[in-house]
Structure 1
């Protein structure tokens, strides 16, 4: 997979957008604020297949930003602020881990997979979906938590919580909410396929590469230590301070080194 991604990156890297997730977060903020003042605004953005057929084609792209906003108060403002900061952090973390091109690919896959899920369910199963853009944000959270499981957030400003716990709870709630309906589970699987088929394989390849690198470094260090000349070599048995690092060596009156087991008695 890395070979294919390397080939794609050489051809299309010039089209990559640094900080793409940051820009998406800013758009989320704009839509959130507009929806807070005009709740009907999100409905003009969300995926609605009959309206798309009627000419509202922009819904094919804007559905990813449609969000459900409750009451507009200090709590929602606080949630918006910290949510945006998290998205900025996820953007920087993933670009540092994957690079700009692979991060862009992950995001585009997430958008297209969610669009395909919406079209499939609208055309084949005649089932509408609502506010499905949340799956893109969830897949970004899952990807960041996969690579940085020990990163700790302070919930309520004083409760430390590793990011993997938050991702696991979010994913668990999604799965539990879809277990009663095979179609809902299928919809969920398609929407987060960017995480299942991009983030996880890249993480597995990264883990294998890191393990093999560690083995090579350990082997190299061992070979280097073997090539180092011994400072003490027993004149009697040939043991030295490299082959027997725990042994004690002394210089006898005859000027030769001996290990403690073969040191001549005076």
Structure 2
């Protein structure tokens, strides 16, 4: 759930990055349980694939038709299932439900939303760029179907890679039989992606490139991604448990500046952070964070 955060300031460096700033402004608009909606879309697309296969051609990501008014294609292509096998779809839904919901709990709803939607956005932008390049070269508008359909398989791949990077040593039961660590599965996944990138169609290259670009940009821009790791989460939980009796103030306030005494009840726009140079759990508002005298 979106809420106020207390950020640790170490050696005078503000670790609040651009995602945290966006979360403060737009976090309330994040969609909870986004994985459920994504996988439900796969199931709907799978049903359409078998019950009304001709309908799928109205859902594909086709820049030509989008530019001619069929704007629903910008998002409807996400409904196209990454597999045509019911057996594979069953295991995909089970696996990615657990991975996606775990990522959302670890990152928070807003950060997870940004990761998924940016992957979709990069794919759409890449397809339009490819469409424009072909138009400049050949002078005609070539449909994407002539070079292959854009698959949603690589959106789920980005979820898998993100989870493996945070929980590399977690073991999963592959097909409920073989225990294997996430980091080894991620290496196999990455090798397969590279193989399909060099041997697949242009559409496959676009889908893989967009998903990997999303993964790289997201993790490179998250300078403090280690704070989402299991060890760091356990440390924070222990700290919250130990500090809770000392951080409950009058009228139910949870944050109070050690200099001016103001709380979040006095001004909901106040930000509170701890200072690592002070001995003890001293919290300061933004007006006194860098001007207070350190407690030794």
TM bracket, shorter-chain basis? 0.5 to 0.7
- State the shift of 1:186 in Å: 6.4
How far residue 110 of structure 1 moved from its aligned partner, in angstroms, is 0.7
Q: In the alignment, is the contact (CA less than 8 A) between 1:42 and 1:68 conserved in 2? A: no
User: Is 1:199 the equivalent of 2:219?
Assistant: yes
Picking from 181, 192, 212, the partner of 1:173 is: 192
Q: Which residue, out of 185, 190, 197, partners 2:210?
A: 190
Q: Please, which of 152, 157, 160 is the counterpart of residue 141 of structure 1?
A: 160
Q: Which one is further off, 173-182 or 32-41?
A: 173-182
Tell me which residue corresponds to 1:21: 35
Task: Spell out the pairing of 1:45-194 with structure 2 (5 A cutoff).
Answer: 45-67=59-81, 69-70=83-84, 76-126=85-135, 128=144, 129-179=148-198, 188-194=208-214
> Residues 163 and 32 of structure 1: is their aligned pair in 2 closer, same or farther, counting only changes over 3 Å?
farther
Say whether the 8 Å CA contact 2:104–2:112 is kept in structure 1. Answer: yes
RMSD: 3.2
Aligned-pair CA distance for 1:157: 3.0
- Deviation of 1:191 after TM superposition, in Å, equals 3.5
The alignment covers a number of residue pairs equal to 211
TM-score (norm 1): 0.68
Q: Which has the higher contact order (CA 8 A, sep 6+)?
A: 2
Larger radius of gyration: 1
1:35 to 49, 52, 58: 49
- 3-state SS of the aligned residue for 2:173? strand
Give the Å deviation of 1:185: 5.1
Q: Secondary structure at the match of 1:56?
A: coil
Alignment of 1:178-257 (within 5 A): 178-179=197-198, 188-202=208-222, 205-207=224-226
Question: In 2, Cα distance between the equivalents of 1:112 and 1:212?
Answer: 31
CA distance change for structure 1 residues 186 and 64 in 2, over 3 Å: closer, same or farther?
Answer: closer
Q: Report if the CA contact (8 A) 1:95-1:103 is conserved.
A: yes
Answer yes or no: is the 8 Å Cα contact 1:67–1:131 preserved in 2. Answer: no
* Deviation of the 1:167 alpha carbon: 2.5
